[in-house]
Amino acid sequence: MKGKNKLRRQELTDGRELWIQEVFYTLQGEGPFSGQPSVFVRTCGCNLKCFWCDTDFESSTWRPSLDELLETIENIRPSFCDLIVITGGEPFRQNIAPLVETLLGRGLRVQIETNGTLWIELPESERLTIVCSPKTPGLHPDIVPRISAYKYVLSVDEVDAEDGLPARSTQKENYVMRLFRQKKAVAPIYVMPRDDGDENLNERNRALCADIAMRHGYTLCLQTHKMLALR
């Protein structure tokens, strides 16, 4: 929402009704499951407002029951597609536990895209993958041990010379701030170029990410859905 969204706190309901922006079938365009057919569930609202956020997550009035949401997922999921990606907005702003538990209970894989600042107790499962894209210096302490991979969004002139990771605030332009780093490098790091809506800058951001990935041993990921004009 380009930093224009309202800051919304975590709402801990029973999770039997969620505020949803959209449900759509696509190829995962980012992170460890890039290229995989997946059904995306985009939840509404966020507790942050990144000035470069590329997503609308506030324009929906749809608040389906859990059953209605599950039916919508099933109606568009090809039988070979077992990957459900829960994103947003910030998914942990709402109680997504019943949704996640039901999807796992059906033998599906669940991947969550999160900024890592909130937490809701979720079952441990090797079919549950939490990918955190840090936006702040600190993360919720309970989510850190559950994070499978980090995905840092990089932009030229805003990275740390030491480790190549973000050194600027995501909430306030041109404000020096080192975002979260793992104490011990246990989870893999993906670097992804920031889409600043300007092809020249995006080209530079892509070159920056390639260089930093090769210099530090991170994995490059691109928002391939944007190259393919996929949702």
Ligand X SMILES: C[S@@+](CC[C@H](N)C(=O)[O-])C[C@H]1O[C@@H](n2cnc3c(N)ncnc32)[C@H](O)[C@@H]1O
Contact stretch for ligand X (CB under 6 A) within 3-11, 50-58, 78-86, 136-144 = 50-58
Please state, in angstroms and rounded to a whole number, the distance separating the CA atoms of residues 212 and 154.
10
Tell me the torsion sign for CA atoms 40, 42, 43, 46.
positive
DSSP states along 157-219:
T-B-TTT-SB-B-SSSTT-B-PPP--SS--S-EEEEE---S-HHHHHHHHHHHHHHHHHHT-E
Contact partner, 195, from ligand X, ligand 2KA, ligand SF4, none, Cβ < 5-8 Å per class: ligand X
Q: Is 118 in the site for ligand SF4 (CB under 6 A)?
A: no
Contact stretch for ligand X (CB under 6 A) within 21-29, 68-76, 85-93, 103-111 = 85-93
Whether residue 77 contacts residue 25, with contact meaning beta carbons closer than 8 Å, is answered with yes
Q: Is 113 in the site for ligand 2KA (CB under 6 A)?
A: yes
Q: Is 153 in the site for ligand X (CB under 6 A)?
A: yes
Which residue in the set 20, 23, 46, 147 belongs to the binding site for ligand SF4 (CB under 6 A)? 46
* Contacting positions for ligand 2KA (CB under 6 A): 26-30, 55, 87, 113, 225, 230-231
